[in-house]
Amino acid sequence: MSLPPDYSNEISALNREILKAQPVDTLQFCANFFLRRLESQRAEFLLSQQHQHSSPRGRGMAESTFPGSNPFSTSPGLATGGMHRLEEEEESDSIGSPTASSFPPSAMDKAQSSTPGEGTFGNFAGFSAPAKGKSTAPPAIGAADAQSFPSNYNLNRRTSVSAESLNPASSANDNWTPPYHPKSPEQQSRLKAAVASNFLFTHLDDEQSAQVLGALQEKPIPTKDIKVIQQGDVGDYFYIVENGSFDIYVNKSGKLEPGPEGLGSKVGSVGPGGSFGELALMYNAPRAATVVSTERSTLWALDRVTFRRILMDSAFQRRRMYEGFLEEVPLLASLTPYERSKIADALETKKYPAGTKIINEGDVGESFYILEAGAAEVYKRGVDKPVNRYKKGDYFGELALLNDAPRAASVVSTTEVKVATLGKDGFQRLLGPVEGIMRRNDPSKMAAHEDGDAVDPLAKST
Partner 1 sequence: MATAIHKILHPHSSHSKGERDSSVQDDHEASHDRQDSDMEQRAREDEKRGLMQWEDRKAPLSPGQIDADPDRKMVGHSSSVLRQEDFELVKTLGTGTFARVWLVRLSEPQNNDDRDKVFALKILRKVDVIRLKQVEHVRNERNVLAAVAGHPFITTMVASFQDHDSLYMLLDYCPGGEVFSYLRRARRFNEPTSQFYAAEIVLILEFLHEREGVAYRDLKPENILIDAEGHLKLVDFGFAKKVENRETYTLCGTPEYLAPEVIRNTGHGTAVDWWAFGILVYEFLVGQPPFWDQNPMKIYEQIVEGRVRFPSAMSPEARDLISGLCTVDTSKRLGNIKGGAAAVKEHPWFRNIDWEALYHRKVKGPIIPHLRGPADTRNFDEYEPESANREPYTREMSEKWDECFKDF
CB-CB contact of 249 with 263 (8 Å): yes
Q: Measured from the CB atom, is 28 or 428 closer to partner 1?
A: 428
Residue 278 assigned ligand-binding role: yes
140 contacts partner 1 (rule: CB under 8 A):
no
The Cα–Cα gap between 120 and 110 comes to: 7
Restricted to residues 316-375, the positions that interact with partner 1 (CB under 8 A) are: 316, 319, 336-338, 341-342, 345-346
Q: How far is the CB of 377 from partner 1 (least distance, A)?
A: 30
149 contacts partner 1 (rule: CB under 8 A):
yes
191 contacts partner 1 (rule: CB under 8 A):
no
| Cβ-based neighbours of 416, under 8 Å, separated by 6 or more | 351, 352, 353, 354, 374
Q: How far is the CB of 31 from partner 1 (least distance, A)?
A: 16
Residue 157 assigned ligand-binding role: no
Q: How far is the CB of 379 from partner 1 (least distance, A)?
A: 32
**Segment contacting partner 1 by CB under 8 A, of 122-130, 174-182, 326-334, 359-367:** 122-130
By CB under 8 A, name the one of 71, 130, 214, 386 that touches partner 1.
Answer: 71
Q: How many CB atoms lie within 10 A of CB 70?
A: 21
Q: How far is the CB of 169 from partner 1 (least distance, A)?
A: 9
**Dihedrals phi, psi of 91, to nearest 5 degrees:** -65, 145
Residue type, 108: M
Q: Measured from the CB atom, is 90 or 451 closer to partner 1?
A: 90
CA gyration radius for the chain? 31
212 contacts partner 1 (rule: CB under 8 A):
no
Q: How far is the CB of 167 from partner 1 (least distance, A)?
A: 8
Residue 398 assigned ligand-binding role: yes
**Dihedrals phi, psi of 236, to nearest 5 degrees:** -120, -25
Q: Measured from the CB atom, is 23 or 262 closer to partner 1?
A: 23
**Segment contacting partner 1 by CB under 8 A, of 78-86, 251-259, 372-380, 385-393:** 78-86
Give the Å distances, CA to CA, from 270 to 72, 260, 293, 326.
37, 22, 9, 49
312 contacts partner 1 (rule: CB under 8 A):
yes
By CB under 8 A, name the one of 116, 119, 126, 273 that touches partner 1.
Answer: 126
135 contacts partner 1 (rule: CB under 8 A):
yes
14 contacts partner 1 (rule: CB under 8 A):
no
144 contacts partner 1 (rule: CB under 8 A):
no
Q: Measured from the CB atom, is 256 or 311 closer to partner 1?
A: 311
CB-CB contact of 223 with 293 (8 Å): yes
Q: Measured from the CB atom, is 154 or 367 closer to partner 1?
A: 154
DSSP of 255-269: S--SSTTTT-EEEEE
Helix H or strand E encompassing 368: strand 367-373
**Segment contacting partner 1 by CB under 8 A, of 43-51, 289-297, 363-371, 374-382:** 43-51
Restricted to residues 221-260, the positions that interact with partner 1 (CB under 8 A) are: none
Q: How far is the CB of 412 from partner 1 (least distance, A)?
A: 28
61 contacts partner 1 (rule: CB under 8 A):
yes
DSSP of 69-100: S-TT---GGGS-TT----PPP-S--SPPPGGG
101 contacts partner 1 (rule: CB under 8 A):
yes
| Cβ-based neighbours of 447, under 8 Å, separated by 6 or more | 456
DSSP of 172-207: HHHT---------HHHHHHHHHHHTT-HHHHT--HH
Q: Is 264 left (phi over 0), alpha (psi -120 to 50) or beta?
A: left
CB-CB contact of 297 with 243 (8 Å): yes
Q: How far is the CB of 49 from partner 1 (least distance, A)?
A: 10
The Cα–Cα gap between 232 and 278 comes to: 15
Restricted to residues 385-444, the positions that interact with partner 1 (CB under 8 A) are: 426, 428-432
Residue type, 79: A
22 contacts partner 1 (rule: CB under 8 A):
no
Give the Å distances, CA to CA, from 285 to 128, 165, 208, 221, 304.
10, 15, 25, 24, 11
Which residues are annotated binding-site positions?
278, 287, 398, 407
Which residues are annotated binding-site positions for 3',5'-cyclic AMP?
278, 287, 398, 407
